[in-house]
Amino acid sequence: MEMSSEWLWHNGFRMPRFEHAACGIGFVVNVKGEKSNAVVRQALTVLRNLAHRGATGADPNTGDGAGIMLQIPHAFFKKACWEIGIDLPAPGQYGVGMLFLSPTDKARSERICEQCLEQIVQEEGQRVLGWRTVPTDATCLGETARTYKPFVRQIFIGRDPRIEDDLAFERKLYVIRRRIENEIRMRRMRDLASRPGQLPFGSFFYVSSLSHRTIVYKGMLTANQLELFYPDLSHPAVESALALVHSRFSTNTFPSWDRAHPYRMIIHNGEINTLRGNVNWFHAGQAMFKSSLFGEDLHQVLPVINPEGSDSAIFDNVLEFLVLSGRSLPHAMMMLIPEPWSHHESMSDEKRAFYEFHSALMEPWDGPAAIGFTDGIRVGAVLDRNGLRPARYYVTQDDLVIMASEVGVLDIPPERVLYKGRLEPGRMLLIDTEQGRIISDEEIKHQIATTQPYRQWLNQHLVELAHLPMDCDVVVPPLPDHTTIVRRQRAFGYTYEDVRILIEPMAKEGVEPLGSMGNDAPLAVLSERPQLLYNYFKQLFAQVTNPPIDAIREELVTSTELMLGSEGNLLEPGPESCRQIKLNSPVLTNTELARLRHIRRPGFKSRMLPI
């Protein structure tokens, strides 16, 4: 039986939430927003020069993935669509969807997915202008890539004249995409239940992009195959002022056509180590979502996160939703990947207040990562707080910015280079083609941090645990005697080695306990002896790609602070959104626990749960 990535997932062999990658990323942008075919050609050159950062399987012609994101090339589409009887309106008055569909003759003749999408477009008040079959050349593909190659189509959607705002049209296209994705997913699950063990309906269906600004060409390709597979990219009329490229290296995943980058807004090299917690908290907060921009459409786009996506895809889901909900692109990126701020002594108070306020709204999406991002007008890149992924950039005298995972991806004569640099940990590189300039990290973050009186809000509503009053009637339990401590240690599963090797060095010398990386003890779930609760938990990241962090010597980038308290509406926060209790550490003393047990402040209640 042929085992596609879809079959593996539906039969429990592939777990998308564990999927990460180490890749090559890059972009080319004309700062002044001048569209040209040269930008596209240069971006494809960057991609080919990042080929060594991509990967293949045993079949050298089946790549882990490669792709490019462009601004919509109107001149090219105008001509190509005219030839098949589609008369496109002016730029910005239509959106283009790039879809993967089933390649079988039966599916292509029945057009079930296409008809379903057409119906949703009409229900949302927009017009289907027509469909275009994207020319593809599979002769360059390896056997595996060719076996699971989808049928690639483009849909052109006309804008309702009553929609005057560009972002409102982009939001409507997003609603259309989320509706068709949810519809196909539900049909697929029903089909899977009725025909277990077989490839269900809609397994090939995927929307690479649906936007009036950008379009994505990608697939299970090598960097050198992208242009060969999509002849569109070789046409001289394909012009753009910006282009993002990605060459994928799956460290511990199954490659597939849909998991190639770019996604709708990002390219990503790295992994999100905190993914499970990020997803759980985001799901929990959805019940509180209210949006004046989405209005009644909000319920149609929930849940925001596609559970079948990789960590990059899920990050893209959340970023796209935050931007369409009203935040600027750099604002959303500052929320998701904040700088290390809690121990940063030289950081301005305004910026520190911004990060502290938003820490009450959302946990950082943390891990080694270099991420390029765009909304079709602004393009930028950001590095994780530890700087564990490379990102270099060049700025030329003729208004080009080239950013990539390494230098040398594009042959630029030295006399053309205005300046060059590397992206620093936690810093952002941002180019706004509408303003026609590069905006410095300091300027953009100061501008965003001062849009609201975040420090004032924190002073009014954030409570530090140490500032909670102690009730005079509260009796802190005395410290137990030695016999009691030993009895409790045994009851909770502490061993002689735990005490001697781990606890004693910390208590006596104040030093980190040292041990080997390996552990030959039985897994907690298989052990016949009582185990501590945390022994049942294992790390979910690839250890070889995550260098160890010294929490003492690298105090700036490590933090144990956390917030307690109910969370409000993430989409439209106000001053009371930070009404929480700030803890410096999750480990509490008896005195601190007593402060929480007997808290008497508006907005807070405490309860004791019996074990």
Mean pLDDT value of segment 181-200: 87
User: What values do phi and psi take at 544, rounded to 5?
Assistant: -70, -20
Q: What percent of the chain has a predicted confidence (pLDDT) above 70? A: 92
Asked if 20 and 252 touch (Cβ cutoff 8 Å), the reply is: yes
- How many angstroms separate the CA atoms of 3 and 5, rounded? 7
- How many angstroms separate the CA atoms of 525 and 151, rounded? 45
- How many angstroms separate the CA atoms of 199 and 8, rounded? 10
> What per-residue confidence (pLDDT) applies to 464?
92
Give residue-wise pLDDT tens across range 330-349.
999 999 999 998 888 899 99
Instruction: Please give the full DSSP string across 239-271, using - where no structure is assigned.
Output: -BSEEEEEE--BSSS---STTSSP-SSEEEEE-
- How many angstroms separate the CA atoms of 109 and 91, rounded? 31
Among 6-15, 26-35, 286-295, the least confident range: 6-15
Q: What angle do CA 132, 136, 137 make, to 5 degrees?
A: 160
pTM: 0.90
> What per-residue confidence (pLDDT) applies to 547?
64
Query: Do you know the residue count of the chain?
Result: 611
Tokens 């390029």, residue located: 372
Q: Which residues pair with 157 in a beta bridge?
A: 95, 128
Which class is 74-212 in CATH? alpha beta
Instruction: Please give the full DSSP string across 554-587, using - where no structure is assigned.
Output: TGGG----EEES----SSS--GGGG-SEEES-S-
For the sheet with 378-383, list strands across it.
Answer: 266-270, 369-374, 378-383, 428-432, 437-439
Q: Which residues pair with 305 in a beta bridge?
A: none
Domain boundaries, the chain: 74-212
User: What values do phi and psi take at 475, rounded to 5?
Assistant: -105, 115
> What per-residue confidence (pLDDT) applies to 548?
67
Asked if 284 and 361 touch (Cβ cutoff 8 Å), the reply is: no
Asked if 452 and 361 touch (Cβ cutoff 8 Å), the reply is: no
- Among candidate residues 23, 81, 113, 578, the one labeled active-site is 23
| Helix, strand or coil, per DSSP, at residue 353 | helix
Give residue-wise pLDDT tens across range 444-500.
999 999 999 999 999 999 999 988 887 666 666 778 899 999 898 888 778 888 888
Whether 81 is a known active-site residue: answer: no
Among 39-48, 134-143, 291-300, 593-602, the least confident range: 593-602
* Three-class SS of 1-14: CCCCHHHHHHCCCC
- How many angstroms separate the CA atoms of 201 and 193, rounded? 11
Q: Can you read off the two tokens belonging to residue 379?
A: 């393009």
Asked if 212 and 95 touch (Cβ cutoff 8 Å), the reply is: yes
- Max mean pLDDT among 352-361, 461-470, 546-555 falls in 352-361
Among 303-307, 388-392, 452-456, 494-498, the least confident range: 494-498
Q: What is the mean pLDDT of the chain?
A: 90
Asked if 380 and 373 touch (Cβ cutoff 8 Å), the reply is: yes
